[in-house]
Amino acid sequence: MSSQSDQKPSGSGSSSPKGKKPLAIIILAIVGVVAIAVYLAIITSPKHIAKEHFKALKNADWSAMYNDLDLNGGEMLTRKHFIAARKSLNLDYSDVNDFSVEEFQSVNPNLKDSTQSEDGALKFTVTYYEKGSTEPETMIITVLKKPGNKWLFFPNYKVDARDMITSCKISVITQSGVEIDGTDIKPFAKHTKEDFMDTYEIDSIFKGVHKVTITHAECKPFEPDFDLSFGSNELTVKELELNDDVAQKLKDRSEQLTKEFLKGAYEGKAFNELNIKMTSEEKFLKDLEEYYKSVCEKFRRSNGTGATDFKITSIKDQTSHKIDKIAPTTAFVCETSVTYTFRTIKSKDGTLVTNDQPLTRTGTLMPVYVLENDEWVLRNFYGVNFALW
């Protein structure tokens, strides 16, 4: 019988390798989870957010910088508008070769927590050195804790963008189109109207130098720069340059208008029967009617005297000044030279006598135009040296 003493007892000796593997996997998994948690805690920390924000600024990575911002929406607060605004400021931090980020320390010793402001904002001081300089520069970056979490468990922090945002107001001639950096602001801007001017207000827009484009059906586009980086946030445009064909259109219209005006007066037409587009402003409309009546009386006075056989032999524009701009308070005066013939009707010994020989005269009539509801209308009409004797 063989001895049992040389047989290894069951379960004795070293552990089985198969038993070690699950434990190692569990340990590695725990270490991995902890490492990921630590990493996520670091990259979601407010200090890291401030650091990455400055790094994006240094590298002019405007898109990454935009991702950090706390924004509540707005038509002028898009990524496209932010990138354009940052580029317009021409701020160059590429020469920064070293920087550090630390919690902001207030000079006020009475503040228990100098890092956190009353509204819960966390402030960080960025200290940086530009290339070749031994003097430090500083910048304050404010980080806000937002509702909700990132990756389920980690706080959500965003960079406070309030210092990068301002408001603005643009006033233009009525019926004008207004764009800022290629965006039509009329659909969303607050609009008020007063004295032939339209005013548009925008509550939130990035600070920077913006390209404003003002258009008008009668005028050439006007594209001023609107600097919202500092100073005034109001832009008022009261003049626009007319299209070349518009000025000529007004001059051409003056000839037809003058013919209609004088012919109507000679034929005794009522004022409201004239085929002339006139102002809707009551005061000027009344003045126009009074002047028209005075011209009618030159042709046909109450005592029967006046003029007959009135004929216009020549009419042409002689506007001496350049008509090149439109403004809400500016009217356009055209100068029309008129040569005409007529025969006088005089009273002689109580009898009306018509002169056999026609007389020739030349006078200047000046129609005055304004733009109302996107249409040129007659506001005034003056005569110089218009005589019927």
Q: Is residue 154 assigned to a domain? A: no
pLDDT at 17: 57
pLDDT at 141: 93
Q: Is residue 279 assigned to a domain? A: yes
Q: What are phi and psi of 193, to 5 degrees?
A: -130, 135
Q: Is residue 97 assigned to a domain? A: no
For residue 78, count CB atoms less than 10 angstroms from its CB and return exposed for 0-12, middle for 13-18, buried for 19 or more.
Answer: middle
pLDDT at 301: 87
Taking only the tens place, the pLDDT of each residue in 19-69 is 567 776 777 666 665 555 554 545 558 888 899 999 999 999 999 999 999
Q: What is the pLDDT along the chain (389 residues), one digit of tens a residue?
A: 444 444 444 444 455 555 567 776 777 666 665 555 554 545 558 888 899 999 999 999 999 999 999 998 899 999 999 999 999 999 999 999 889 989 876 545 554 444 555 456 889 999 999 888 889 999 999 999 877 666 556 678 899 999 999 999 999 988 899 999 999 999 999 999 987 789 999 999 999 999 999 998 888 899 999 999 987 899 999 888 888 888 788 888 888 889 999 999 999 999 999 999 999 889 999 999 999 999 999 898 888 888 999 999 999 888 876 666 777 666 778 889 999 999 999 988 778 889 889 999 999 988 888 878 778 889 888 887 788 77
Q: Is residue 78 assigned to a domain? A: no
Tell me the three-class secondary structure of the chain, residue by residue.
CCCCCCCCCCCCCCCCHHHHHHHHHHHHHHHHHHHHHHHHHHHCCHHHHHHHHHHHHHCCCHHHHHHCEECCCCCCCCHHHHHHHHHHHCCCCCCEEEEEEEECCCCCCCCCCCCECCCCCEEEEEEEEECCCCCCEEEEEEEEEEEEEECCCEEEEEEECHHHEEEEEEEEECCCEEEECCEECCCCCEEEEECCEEEEEEEEEECCEEEEEEEECCEEEECCEEECCCCCCEEECCCEEECHHHHHHHHHHHHHHHHHHHHHHHHCCCHHHCCCCECCCHHHHHHHHHHHHHHHHHHECCCCCEEEEEEEEEEEECCCCCCCEEECCECEECCEEEEEEEEEEEEECCEEEECCCCEEEEEEEEEEEEEECCEEEEEEEEEECCCCC
> What is the residue whose two structure tokens read 């005589």?
387
pLDDT at 132: 82
The per-residue b/e assignment along 269-300, b for 16 or more CB within 10 angstroms, e otherwise, is: bebeebebebbeeeebbeebeebbeebbebbb
Q: What are phi and psi of 307, to 5 degrees?
A: -145, 150
Q: Are 364 and 338 in contact (CB under 8 A)?
A: yes
Output Rg (C-alpha) for the chain, integer angstroms: 41
Q: Is residue 180 assigned to a domain? A: no
Distance CA 372, CA 269 (A): 25
Q: Is residue 28 assigned to a domain? A: no
pLDDT at 2: 42
Give how many domains the chain has, as a whole number. 1
Q: Is residue 11 assigned to a domain? A: no
| Residue 335 belongs to domain with CATH number | 3.10.450
Distance CA 78, CA 133 (A): 36
**Residue 256 belongs to what domain range?**
244-384
Dihedral-angle region of residue 189 (phi above 0 means left; psi in -120 to 50 means alpha; beta otherwise):
beta
Taking only the tens place, the pLDDT of each residue in 144-196 is 987 766 655 667 889 999 999 999 999 998 889 999 999 999 999 999 998 77
Residue whose C-alpha is closest to residue 158's, from 168, 150, 166, 170: 150
pLDDT at 350: 78
Q: Is residue 212 assigned to a domain? A: no
